[in-house]
Amino acid sequence: MEYSELNTTPFFKGLSVLWVPFLATPVHVARRMLALAGARPGELVVDLGCGDGRILLIAAEEYGCRCIGVEIDEKLAELARKRVEERGLSKSIEIFTGDLMNFDVSQADIVTVYLTPAILGKLSLKLKKELKKGARVVSHDYPIPEWRCIFKENIRTRGYHVHRIYLYRK
Ligand SMILES: C[S@@+](CC[C@H](N)C(=O)[O-])C[C@H]1O[C@@H](n2cnc3c(N)ncnc32)[C@H](O)[C@@H]1O
């Protein structure tokens, strides 16, 4: 499936649903996010808005984590599932299709997000309410409102984009 075919989610029908487009975290940035979060074997990593599932593939393959991806775009969720299957990681990674605001994150050890400030604003309270003590949250490019960042790192890649990683701990 081509990238151009993937960004086809209609601008929501679901009305109350907050949505942001698919923009993939570069693999080396994803690796750094998981390293900063201190991912350990057996921990549960949840990527809210998982896109093609790349963060989860790394978490499962390189860190031995259990993983869940939540993705509202059916085509992307399907692509993520296909990648999981191709890599033989179906026992470690599960992909759910749906709105991330409806997903219970209370079991997560690590939550990864690459979302817009608007949706992070809504998510902030939900994470505070649901996450267990000690859970880590790693956000790509945008800080999570009302959370105290414990570590921030900038990663410069080719081109002008400086990727920002924000780390939090409940
Ligand atoms: C910027 S992309 C990040 C993809 C992936 N996490 C990564 O870092 O490569 C944001 C993703 O969130 C998904 N998304 C946006 N709003 C969502 C919502 N309300 N519920 C679930 N997924 C959502 C989009 O379809 C898109 O795939």
Which residue minimizes the CA distance to atom 11 of ligand 1? 49
Longest dimension (CA), the chain: 40
For residue 54, which atom of ligand 1 is closest to its CA? 9
Contact 107, 70 (CB under 8 A): no
pTM: 0.91
- Residue 9, pLDDT > 50, answer no
**Residue 19 banded pLDDT, cuts 50, 70, 90:** low
Distances (CA, A) of 166 to 18, 65, 162: 21, 20, 13
The rounded Å distance from CA 141 to ligand 1 centre is 13
* Consecutive H or E run containing 153: strand 151-156
Using a 6 Å cutoff on CB, does residue 29 contact ligand 1? no
Question: Following DSSP, what letter does each residue of 51-119 receive, concatenated?
Answer: TTSHHHHHHHHHH--EEEEEES-HHHHHHHHHHHHHTT-TTTEEEEES-GGGS--TT-SEEEE---HHH
**Residue 159 banded pLDDT, cuts 50, 70, 90:** confident
**Can you give the pLDDT at residue 118?**
92
**Can you give the pLDDT at residue 18?**
62
For residue 19, which atom of ligand 1 is closest to its CA? 16
Angle between helix 74-86 and 54-63 (nearest 10): 20
Using a 6 Å cutoff on CB, does residue 18 contact ligand 1? yes
Least confident of 21-25, 130-134, 141-145: 21-25
Region 103-125: what's the mean pLDDT? 97
Report the DSSP pairing between strands 136-140 and 162-169.
antiparallel
Domains and CATH numbers, the chain: 25-169 (3.40.50.150)
For a ligand 1 pocket test, name from 13, 18, 23 the mutation site with the most ligand atoms within 8 angstroms of its C-beta.
23
The rounded Å distance from CA 113 to ligand 1 centre is 8
- Residue 47, pLDDT > 70, answer yes
Using a 6 Å cutoff on CB, does residue 100 contact ligand 1? yes
Region 113-126: what's the mean pLDDT? 96
Which residue minimizes the CA distance to atom 4 of ligand 1? 51
160: number of Cβ within 10 Å: 6
Angle between helix 27-37 and 54-63 (nearest 10): 50
For the chain, what percent of residues have pLDDT higher than 70?
Answer: 89
Digit-coded pLDDT (tens) for 63-102: 999 999 999 999 999 999 999 999 999 999 999 999 999 9
**Can you give the pLDDT at residue 17?**
59
The rounded mean pLDDT for the chain is 90
